[in-house]
Structure 1
């Protein structure tokens, strides 16, 4: 598939980048320049959190003990149930992969966390059953995936790229990265092409499983659609470069903090609408001022 180049992933605010460059003198005084460069472990979640808000990154990945998190959100509960049910479904022998079993697995994995009340939870439980049953009706359930919730990890340049892939298929001798989605909106080819997470999974899966891999797919269960993209070496290199730039920034901030740097300078808040559903909202006055708290069920598919 061909098309315009993907929009550049949002980078950390320029004021922070300038601030990180200004800590070079401190790094030199501490002898960091003489130390060999270490590989930085990155996951799609870490990179997305850093791009979204450096303060949230610090609270999630640097601060110990970790600040208290907020409660569960219903849309996350819904997504986890669907993922777990599909994993359990493909773990079954082929002869037991039936629509009835798929429906039963949603029920087995169901939780009511984050929903407004039992009636709302029951409604979305019914929806989730419908999504999963319709989904398996449109695929060949006799095909065994290469991996389910498979952890992949590989060195790539200055990084160790890691992550857990929802499903890895093999088609015509090549691996295909499959990511399940249960969000509010259907996805497009641009979403598949621009997903840094999927690109990094390709890079890591190639090394982990030692097979060619270029295709990524977003399977949106509520709409029954699949958004796909065939990566090239050039497109993977662009995603890798952006990941490496982000990793260098957050690793420098982390090292400088350990050396006595100011956490508010190194990991500033990035207030916005996302503050309404941030896990660490209670520990961030700027986030509380930026947006009202969302109800735990606010982001469910309408």
Structure 2
């Protein structure tokens, strides 16, 4: 257990958080409890096509960028999609065939733009693939798995760039990259873990071939850190109170019903969520 000195001089527990934990807490506290605290964990919803597709693309890119630059070809990239393909959550065979071919095209085109020597969008040196980052940051231990970490030449010398792959319907822009709590936490953790300069974050949206870039400074990182710490302290305190008195579960972890409840994977355990929105089809989140 990680500790630091509290205000009274006694050791205070550092709360371990990942971007997904923080996002779930801020989105819906009941979903947070059902996902991370209840044991045994309640059954969750079935697979969703958008998540399946995202995992396939991530796994294929992980394999491609794990190879020497000369082997990061478009043909190899398309084959990796086939190797990692899963049809879970798709509507039917026709939809499977459509999105399998799209994923092959996305990853192959991405390899042409990024992965081969002389590519128009060079990657630099890959210093981390699905890299687990963990570092104490104030009142929390920020943890998470970054899709890719590149080392590139910056204005002040070599620096680490945090890259996150996206395959969903939304096409990200620079504001999305700048506002992303996950990317900011990865920057903070990468600085401590790798002991190298790091301030640039990038969202690589494969369906649109878009790269959304933002450069963090001390002020923007401090704002993200402050928000994440406040959430970490709050969720840690709520978890401790629940452990002390399980009867307070509904009080400490109320639902936040809304339209997004249609895609929630624990909606079967939440009457308020089911009343707020009809269940989305398993393939509803696919990029058009």
Shared topology, TM-score over 0.5? yes
Does residue 1:241 correspond to 2:226, yes or no? Answer: yes
The alpha-carbon deviation at position 301 of structure 1 amounts to: 1.0
Q: Which whole-Å deviations, capped at 9, do the CAs of 1:138-184 have from their partners, x for residues lacking one?
A: 12434441000000110011110000000000011100000000011
**Aligned with 1:281 (options 248, 253, 267):** 267
Work out the CA distance in 2 between the residues paired with 1:243 and 1:278: 23
2:147–2:165 CA contact under 8 A, matched in 1: yes
Residue of structure 2 in register with 1:159 after alignment: 140
Which aligned runs of 4 or more in structure 1 are off by greater than 4 angstroms? none
**Aligned with 1:64 (options 39, 44, 62):** 39
Secondary structure of 1:55's partner?
Answer: helix
The alpha-carbon deviation at position 133 of structure 1 amounts to: 1.1
Work out the CA distance in 1 between the residues paired with 2:192 and 2:281: 42
Q: Which whole-Å deviations, capped at 9, do the CAs of 1:19-74 have from their partners, x for residues lacking one?
A: xxxxxxxxxxxxxx996321000100000000110000001111111110110000
Secondary structure of 1:138's partner?
Answer: helix
Residue of structure 2 in register with 1:253 after alignment: 238
Question: Structure 1: any 5+ residue segments left out of the alignment?
Answer: 1-32
1:276–1:294 CA contact under 8 A, matched in 2: yes
| Higher relative contact order structure (alpha carbons within 8 Å, sequence separation ≥ 6) | 1
The alpha-carbon deviation at position 299 of structure 1 amounts to: 1.1
1:168–1:175 CA contact under 8 A, matched in 2: yes
Does residue 1:168 correspond to 2:120, yes or no? Answer: no
**Aligned with 1:147 (options 128, 133, 142):** 128
2:201–2:214 CA contact under 8 A, matched in 1: yes
Residue of structure 1 in register with 2:98 after alignment: 123
**Comparing both structures, which one devotes a greater share of its residues to strand?**
2
1:99–1:137 CA contact under 8 A, matched in 2: yes
Work out the CA distance in 2 between the residues paired with 1:65 and 1:34: 36
Work out the CA distance in 2 between the residues paired with 1:77 and 1:44: 20
Work out the CA distance in 1 between the residues paired with 2:9 and 2:170: 49
Higher mean Cα deviation, 135-144 or 282-291?
135-144
- The correspondence of residues 95-114 of structure 1 with structure 2, limited to 5 A, is 95-114=70-89
1:90–1:144 CA contact under 8 A, matched in 2: no
2:65–2:115 CA contact under 8 A, matched in 1: no
2:69–2:115 CA contact under 8 A, matched in 1: no
Residue of structure 1 in register with 2:287 after alignment: 301
Tell me the TM-score normalized by structure 1: 0.87
Query: Number of residues paired by the alignment?
Result: 270
Does residue 1:37 correspond to 2:23, yes or no? Answer: no
Question: Structure 2: any 5+ residue segments left out of the alignment?
Answer: 1-7, 118-123
Q: Which whole-Å deviations, capped at 9, do the CAs of 1:80-117 have from their partners, x for residues lacking one?
A: 00000000001123332211111100010000000001
Secondary structure of 1:168's partner?
Answer: strand
Tell me the TM-score normalized by structure 2: 0.91
